[in-house]
Structure 1
Amino acid sequence: MAKVAIVGCGAMGSVYAGLMSDVGHEVHAVTLWEDHVAAINENGIRVEGASGDRTVRLASASTTTEGIGICDLVIIATKSFDVEAAAEASLPLIGEDTVVQTLQNGLGSSERVAPIVGEDKLAIGVVGGFGASRRAPGHVHHNGMEITWFGSYAGLSREALKRSTDIWESAGFKVKHFDDTQQMIWEKLIMNVTFSGSTCSTGLSIGEVMANPNAWAIAEGCAREAIAVAKALNVNLDVGDPLEHIRELGGKIPNARPSMLLDHTAGLRGEVDVINGSISRLGKTVGVPTPVNDTLVNLIKARESKFK
C-alpha cells in the first residue's frame, strides 16, 4: 500500500481520500477547513454518492503538512489560485521517488507548480464528472466519477506515472493516460467552460441548465467559443462532435452543481479567471471573438467584488 498526501482536501480531495483510504492506503489530508479537520479526526471521513456510502479513518488530517513525512504520492487539489502556496507546503513530503499530481480546473496551474516541485516529478491530472460537494464537516457527496486522466508534465517517466496512477485504480477510479496533455486539458476545459459560468450566473444545476433554453443558450455560446479557440490553437479534441460530447457528459450528472456555483453560494471567490477567463484571454491572442465568455466573466467578477 502507498503513502498519500492530499494537499487541499476539500470536497473533491475528500472523495479521493475516502476511496483511497478505504482500500488500505495510508492517506493524510491537509485542508484549511478547521471544522473539516476536527470532524475527520474525531469520526473519520464519510464519502457518499456514486461510489456508495462509507465512513473511513484517515492516517491524519491537519491544516499543515508538518509531521507527515515523505510520501509516495502527493496530490495538490487546491483551487488554482492557491497552487503555489500548496506546492511550497508540499516540499517536505517529496522524496526521490515521490510523484506529485496537480489537479486543478482551467489553465496554467501546472506551469506554476513545476518550478517549485520539479518538472521530473510532476504529473498533470484532469478529473471531471464528480459533482462533489461538502454536506457537513467530515462528510462529502459526489454525483459521479466520470473522468480521471493523467499525463506527465515534462520529465516524469512512464514508470513513475503508472506507479502513481495505480494507486487511483486500486481505489476504483478509471484512469486514462494521455501523451498529449494539451488535448487532455482542453477536453475537460470545454466542459468546465460550458457549465461553470452558466450555473454560477443562474444558480441552476447542470441538468437544469441543459433543460432551460435561456440558460443553455449561454452555456452553448461559451462552449462554441471555447471550441473555436481550441481549433485556432490547433488543439486536438478527440471527442467526436464536441457539443454532443459535452451534453452526453452533462447528462450523466444532471444534479451536479459545479464548484464555481458552490463557491459563490458560500460567498467565496471562484475560478472564473482560469476557466471562462482563459477563453477570453486566449481568444484575443488568436483573433477569436468571445463575447459570451467575456460577459459571464464580467458578471461573475462583479458579483465577487461584494465578497469579503
Structure 2
Amino acid sequence: MATVVIIGSGAMGSVYAGLMQDAGHEVHGVCKWEDHVQAVQENGLRVTGASGDRTVRLASFDTEVRDLPQPDLLIIATKSFDVESAAESALPLIGEHTVVQTIQNGLGAPDRVANIIGGDRLAIGVVGGFGASVPGPGVAHHNGMEMIRFGSYGTLSDEEIERSAEIWRSSGFEVKTFSDTDQMVWEKFIMNVAFSGTTCATGLTIGQVMDNDTAWWVARSCSEEAIAIAKAKGITLDVGDPIEHVRGLGSKIPNAKPSMLLDANLKRRCEVDSINGAVVDEGRKLGIPTPVNEAVSNIIRARELTYLDASERTPATV
C-alpha cells in the first residue's frame, strides 16, 4: 500500500483521504480548519454520500505539515489562491519517487505550483461531479464521484502517472489519464464556469439552476463564452455538444452546491478569479467579449465586499 499526503483536506480532500485510508493506504491530511481537524483527531473522519458511509482513522491529521514521511503521492487540494503556500510547505516532503498532483478548480494553479517545486514531479489533476461539502466538523459528504483525470505537467513518465492513478483506483475512484492536459482541464472548466458563479450569485443548487430558465441562461452563456475561448486557442473538447456535456454532468449532482457558493455562504474568499474571472482574462488576451462572465464575477466580488477584509478580497476587474 502507498503513503499519501493530502495538503488541503477540506471537503474534497477529506473525501480523498477517507476513501484512500479505508482502502488500506497510509494517509496524512493537512487542513487549516481547526474545528474539522480537532473533530477528526478525536473521533475519526466520517465520509458519507455516493461512496457509502464510513468512519476511518487517518495516519495523521493536522493544521500544518509536521514531521510527515516522504509520500508516494502528494496531493495539493487547496483552493487555487492557497497553492503557493501549500507548495512551499510540501517541498521537504518531495522525494525522488514522489508524484505531486495539484488539483484545483479553474486555470493557472499548476503553473504557480511549478514555479515553486518545479515541473519534474508534478501532475495536473482534474476532478468533478462530487458536490462535496463539510456539513459539520469531522464529516465530509459527497453527492457523486464522476470525474478523476490526471496528466503530466512536465516530464513525469506514463508509468509514474499510472502508478499514482492506481492509488486512486484501488480506493474506488474511476481514473482517466491524459497526454493532452489542456483538453483535460478545459473539458471540466466549461462546467465549472457554468455552475460555480451562477450558483454563487443566485444561491441555487446545480439542479435548480438547470430548472430555472433565467438562471440557466446565465450558466449557459458563461459556458458558451469559455467554449469560444477554447476554440480560439485550438483546445480540443472531445465531449460531443459541449453544452449537453455540461448539462449531463450537472444532472448527476442536482442537489450539489459548488464550492464557490459554499465558500460565500461561510463568508470565505471565493475562487472567482480562477474560474469565471479567468474567462474574462483569457477573453481580453484574445479580443473575445465575455460580458456574462464579467458581470457574474463582479457580482461575486461585490458579495465578498460585505464580509471580507480588504486584504482578503479578490481584485476587481472594473
TM range (shorter): over 0.9
Structure 1 segment 155-304 matched on structure 2, within 5 A: 155-304=155-304
What's the TM-score once normalised by structure 1's chain length? Answer: 0.99
Unaligned runs of 5+ in 2: 309-318
Correspondence for 2:15: 15
CA deviation after TM superposition for structure 1 residue 115, in Å: 2.5
Q: Which runs of 5+ in 1 are unaligned?
A: none
Alignment of 1:129-140 (within 5 A): 129-140=129-140
Corresponding residue of 1:141: 141
Deviations 1:180-224 (A, max 9, x none): 000000000000000000000000000000000111111011011
1:206-251 CA distance string (max 9 Å, x none): 0000000111111011011111111111110000000011011100
Which stretches of structure 1, 4 residues or more, deviate above 6 A after TM superposition? Answer: none
- The superposition leaves residues 83-121 of structure 1 with CA deviations (integer Å, 9 ceiling, x where unpaired) of 010000011211111000000000000001112222110
Partners of 2:188 and 2:26 lie apart in 1 by 29
CA distance in 2, matches of 1:293, 1:93: 38
Q: Aligned pair count?
A: 308
| 1:104-156 Cα distance to aligned partner (Å, 9 max, x none) | 00000000111222211000000000000001111010000000000000111
Contact residue 208 and residue 254 of structure 1 kept, 8 A? yes
AA in 2 matched with 1:181:
T
1:5–1:75 Cα contact (<8 Å) kept: yes
Within 2, Cα distance between the matches of 1:173 and 1:212? 32
43-52 vs 108-117, greater mean Cα deviation: 108-117
Structure 2: how far apart are the matches of 1:217 and 1:305?
26
- The residue number in structure 2 matching 1:75 is 75
Q: Which residue of 2 aligns with 1:56?
A: 56
Whichever residue aligns with residue 93 of structure 1, its letter is L
Contact preservation (8 Å) 1:147, 1:174: yes
**Offset at residue 288 of structure 1 (A):** 1.2
Deviation at residue 61 of structure 1 after TM alignment: 0.4
Q: SS of the residue aligned with 1:125? A: strand
| 1:44 has 2:44 as partner | yes
